[in-house]
A = this chain, B = another copy of it.
Amino acid sequence: MKIALAQINYHIGNFESNVEKIKTAIRQAKDSGADLVVFAELAVSGYPPRDFLEFDDFINKCQQAITDIATKCKGIAAIVGSPTKNPEFHGKNLFNSAYFLADGKVRNVRHKTLLPNYDVFDEYRYFEPNKKFSIIEYKETKIALTICEDLWNIGHDPLYTVNPMDELIGQEPDFMINIAASPFNYNQHQTRNCILKKNVKKYGIPLFYVNHVGAQTELLFDGGSQVIDGNGQLIDELSYFEEDFRIFDTNNLEPSQLPKPIEKYPADNIKIGLIHDALVMGIRNYFQKLGFTKAILGLSGGIDSALTLVLAVEALGSENVLSVMLPSQFSSDHSVNDSKTLIENLGSPAEIIIIEEAYQAFEHSLKPIFKNLPFGLAEENLQARIRGVLLMALSNKFGYILLNTSNKSEAAVGYGTLYGDMCGGLSVLGDVYKTEVFGLARYINSEKEIIPENIITKPPSAELRPDQKDSDSLPEYDILDKILFQYIEQRQGPKELIEMGFDEAVVKKTLKLVNTNEYKRHQTPPILRVSPKAFGMGRRMPIVGKYLA
């Protein structure tokens, strides 16, 4: 049997576009002599459709899409993910399903058993878990069809008490097909390959796996669809971060001669390379899917905005990213000069607006109330907010989306001004620690200097008061980031952190900053997720909580 894997960038709720892409791939597969073409989980709706699933109208549109696609499945079969209605009175109203389409109609439907409900996943919010298990027979072949998480219960902390493949294997399937919507993080390619291989080793039959690719706001999908033979050998792996399409013959599974997608990255810098490509895709798709082409950002002379600019230029084209320099009396000369050099290197447009005039006006208007109180946090924030107002004015006037340039270390400890530098439609670096920001800058400069060296080497500063340095208020970033990683990604508590050797006072101060700044993060733009634990939909914290605060 010849099986085509179609790795597609879907758009949530854009049925017209999703159906068109699916039909095109069916045509392509049929023209290439495939017997079956496999699409991803919830392909017709895009993933995650979130609470659109609560609308009958939305579910009906999914069903119409399936009916429409089925008509194209003549002389070829297709597996397509879609929500379906649960006909039972008890239980949730929907299943997360895989349709097997053939002979112009729906031939079989299988439902997802294991519903991920952790981190960014909310599937038990919508779906009833499957409880019946049967293989699909097609052209004298027996297929064990499962959906994403169904294969993921064989790690070191199994979250579910059943295992769908344990139920199916007794029916002697010839191979497994798994359709997925498994989002990227910088460990995901390894985790995914490991889990899939474990399944093959356990069940002893080949596996055909199709994932989503592309960005849906914060969730990035890297693709990596693949085929593993019955011995656990990787036959082929589709591209990362782009659409792809390949055909395999089940009777002749020979390892592909094509380079694996991971080989594109320098072996000693895979993580940074992956983050780089993920962020570029994340920006590009955010704009495409919202129908925008142009970005704006404030270029401070610091490394975060410099890196954001480079990534945006890669994603959108240099002509489509406007940098605005917004110096104040506290900005160092090198800030503007370094920014100008960067802009020249990129050939992208720029503007300068001095914030002094607006600052003076605010100071004057506030004087009757502020009286002679000394310069402080309010005045620092005022500068950041004036910049936010100016950038948003340009955004509104000319139809730019403002890119936020805050990094994860700042977001974690609340080192940023709400409605100031925390403005933006999309946070590019909000899941990238400061130490990783440096890594990305070095990675970008690895062939030639794009980001001026001085931007990378100067001590980080918000430049909101004379001679300010980040290290005046925060631990050095190499310590801070380690504590933050242990607390945020690894969920270690104060006791464990102190046992690891971090200074007790620094630990307590840091965790308190993280927890008391939840109110700020509540109002940040969506953050492109590249780590296993990003701020945003995958990390849900109380605001009035009084824990470690």
Contacts and interface: CB of A to CB of B under 8 A. Distances in A.
B56 A491 contact: yes
A34 B117 CA distance: 41
A210 to B, nearest CB: 21
B546 A14 contact: yes
Number of copies: 2
Contacts of A393: 362, 366, 370, 378, 381-382, 385
A402 to B, nearest CB: 10
Q: How big is chain A's contact interface, by range?
A: 35 or more
Contact of A90 (B161, B360, B425, B522): B161
A505 interface: no
Contacts of A14: 545-547
Interface string A119-156: 00010110000000000000000000000000000000
B522 A525 contact: yes
Nearest to A397: B378
A261 interface: no
A389 interface: yes
Given A49-B542, A286-B544, A544-B12, A382 B378 contact: no
Given A13-B547, A542-B48, A542-B217, A382 B389 contact: yes
A40 B358 CA distance: 53
A469 interface: no
Contact of A544 (B61, B217, B548): B217
A292 to B, nearest CB: 11
A449 B285 CA distance: 54
Q: Most chain-B CB neighbours within 10 Å: which of A92, A125, A376, A390?
A: A125
A64 interface: no
Contacts of A542: 12-13, 46, 48-50, 52, 216-217
Interface in A53-80: 54-58, 61
Given A12-B546, A125-B118, A546-B13, A390 B377 contact: no
Interface of A: 11-14, 17, 46, 48-52, 54-58, 61, 88-93, 117-118, 122, 124-125, 157-161, 215-217, 285-286, 289-290, 351, 353-355, 357-358, 360-362, 364-366, 369-370, 373, 376-378, 381-382, 385-386, 388-390, 392-394, 396-397, 418-419, 423, 425, 491, 493-496, 519, 522-526, 537, 539-549
